[in-house]
Amino acid sequence: MRRIAGLLVGFLAVIAIAIALYQLHHGADGLRVQRTVVGATPVTIFRPGTDAPAPVIVIAHGFAGSQQLMQPFAETLARNGYIAVTFDFLGHGRNPHPMRGDITEGIAITSALLNELTEVASAARQFPGCDGRLGVLGHSMASDIVIRFAQASPDVLATVAVSVFSPVVTATSPRNLLVIVGALEPAMLRDEGLRIVNQAASDNAVAGKTYGVAADGTARKLVLARGVEHIGVLYSHDSMVEALRWMNTAFSQPQDGPVDRRGRWLALLFVGLVALAWPLSKMLPVVSAASVGANLGWKPLIVTAFVPSLITPLILWKMPTDFLTILLGDYLTLHFLIYGALTTAMLVYVRNRSATIEAPINWRRLAVAATCVAACNIVAFGLPLDTWVFAFIPIPSRLPLIAAIACGTLPYFIADEWATRGGKARPAAYALTKICLLLSLGIAILLNPMKLFFLAIIVPAILLLFVAFGLISRWAYAATHHPLPGAIANAAVFAWAIGVTFPMIVR
C-alpha cells in the first residue's frame, strides 16, 4: 500500500510540475525579452510584440531583491504596450559591484542607488521604440529611490511605489503617485501610504480612492492588495491590475488588459517539487541499521530548544557582527553558529537523561545521501527560483560568502536535526525548534531594530523554507535512519539562499 501511495504521489507531482512549468515557460509568449548591461548593471528589456513606439517603464527591485522578483510587473506592462526595463541594483542579484557606505546612515548608499537608476533610465530613453515618455515603479527600498528620481525628472509622468517608505514626498511631487501596500504588511507601511496620500487629500485619505487628476500630474491613490505581505504583494492580482490601470491613465492607454498570474503556477510548481521528494527519498541508501538521534522527551527537548533561543540574541546584542561583505548575512551566520553551539552544549547536558541510540554508520552511504538531498534542494528548487523568482545562481564573488555562511548553518542544522530526530523523538520537535529559532530572531530584532528590521519582513519566506526543506529532511531521515543527510542538505541550501539573496556591501 505504501509503495502504491508513493507511486501515486509521484505521478501527481510530476503532472503538477509539468503543468506549472508549461504555464510559466509560456508566460512570456508574444514578448521580446532582451538581456544587456548598462555600464556594469545587468538589465532586462521586455518589449511588446509590436514595433509601435511605446512609453518606457523602469522597474526597480527592493532590498535583497533582484530583477526576477519584478518580472510580474514587467511582463504585465509589456503585454499592454509598454517597454518595461528591470535591472539589478549595486550589490544585488548579478550586479558584480557592491554597495558602499553605512546602511544605517544611508545617504551615500541612497545617492549611489539613485545614480544607478538615473543611468539605467537615461539608457532606457534611448532604447529603440521608446516614444520619449517615462514612468517608474519601485518596491520597498526602491520605492524611495524611484520617488527621488521622479522628483528630479520632470518627464516622469507616473510613479508606482510598492511597500512604500519615503520621507521626501510632498503634496505635489512626484507626479501621479500610486502607493500599493500588501494588506498583511506591517502597519507602519500602511500608515506611510496613508500619510503620503493624505498630503493630497486634506488628511481624509482612504484606501482605494483617487485624489487629484492624472492630466495635471496631481493624482494620488493608496491601494491595499488583499491577502498578501511584503513579497506576495509582487505577485498579487490587485497589484498588477492597479499598477497597469495607473500607468494606462497617466499615459492615455486603453484601460483593460491581461495581467501576470504566475503566483498560482509558482505555488503549484514548488508544491509539486516538495511532493515529488517524498517518493524519491525512498531511493536513498540506508545509513544506519537503527534510527539514531537524541530521542529527547518533552522536558529535555523544551530545555534544549528554549535555552539557545533566549541566550543567542543576548550574546550577539553588543557584539560586532560586520565581518562579511554581505549585509545581514554576517549576522545570520553568527546567529546560526552560536545557536548551534548552544544547542550542542544542551544536547551534551541532557545526554545521560535521554535514550540516545548509537549504531554503526556507513559513511560512504551517508555522503551519497547527503549529496543527493543537497542536490535536490539546490538544483531542483534553485533553477526555477533563478528563472522566475530571484537570482539564485551566484556570481563568482558570492561563492566565498556562501562557504563562510555555511560555517554557521552547518553547526546549527546538525545540532537541530540531531535534537529533533530519533526513533522515539516527539513528532512536534522539529516545529518547536523552528519556532524557537524565529523567537530568537525576533528578540534580536527588538534589541537592534535599526540594523535587523528587515528580518521581520521576510519571516513568511523563512517559514516557507522551514516547511519545505523540513519535510524533505524528515523524509530523508525516514529513509536513511540518520539525521546528517538532511542536516547537511539544509545547511547547504540555507547558506546558499542567504549568500545569493542579501546585498554585498563594503562598509
Residue ranges and CATH numbers for the domains of the chain are: 31-260 (3.40.50.1820), 284-506 (no CATH)
- Predicted local distance difference test score (pLDDT) of residue 382: 97
- Predicted local distance difference test score (pLDDT) of residue 343: 98
Average model confidence (pLDDT) for the chain? 94
User: In this structure, are residues 13 and 272 in contact, taking their beta carbons and an 8 Å threshold?
Assistant: yes
Interhelix angle 429-447/459-480, nearest 10 degrees: 150
Question: Tens of pLDDT along 463-497?
Answer: 999 999 999 999 999 999 999 999 999 999 999 99
Question: Tens of pLDDT along 239-296?
Answer: 999 999 999 999 998 877 899 999 999 999 999 999 999 999 999 999 998 889 999 9
Distance (Å, whole) CA 481 – CA 499: 30
Kindly state the percentage of the chain with pLDDT values over 70: 98
Which range is least confidently modeled, 69-73, 119-123, 345-349, 434-438?
345-349
Helices (H), 26-154: 71-79, 107-125, 141-152
Question: Tens of pLDDT along 420-436?
Answer: 999 888 989 999 999 99
- Predicted local distance difference test score (pLDDT) of residue 358: 63
**What mean pLDDT is predicted for residues 491-504?**
97
- Predicted local distance difference test score (pLDDT) of residue 12: 97
Question: Tens of pLDDT along 196-238?
Answer: 999 988 878 899 999 999 999 999 999 999 999 999 999 999 9
Identity of residue 208: G
134: which residues sit within 8 A by CB, 6+ positions away? 55, 56, 57, 58, 121, 124, 125, 153, 155, 156, 157
Given pLDDT bands bounded at 50, 70 and 90, which one contains residue 353?
low
Give yes or no for residue 324 having a pLDDT over 90.
yes
Question: Tens of pLDDT along 160-196?
Answer: 999 999 999 999 999 999 999 999 999 999 999 999 9
- Predicted local distance difference test score (pLDDT) of residue 256: 77
Given pLDDT bands bounded at 50, 70 and 90, which one contains residue 450?
confident
Angle at 280 between CA 279 and CA 285, to 5 degrees: 115
Place of cell 538531498: 373
- Predicted local distance difference test score (pLDDT) of residue 418: 96
Given pLDDT bands bounded at 50, 70 and 90, which one contains residue 25?
very high
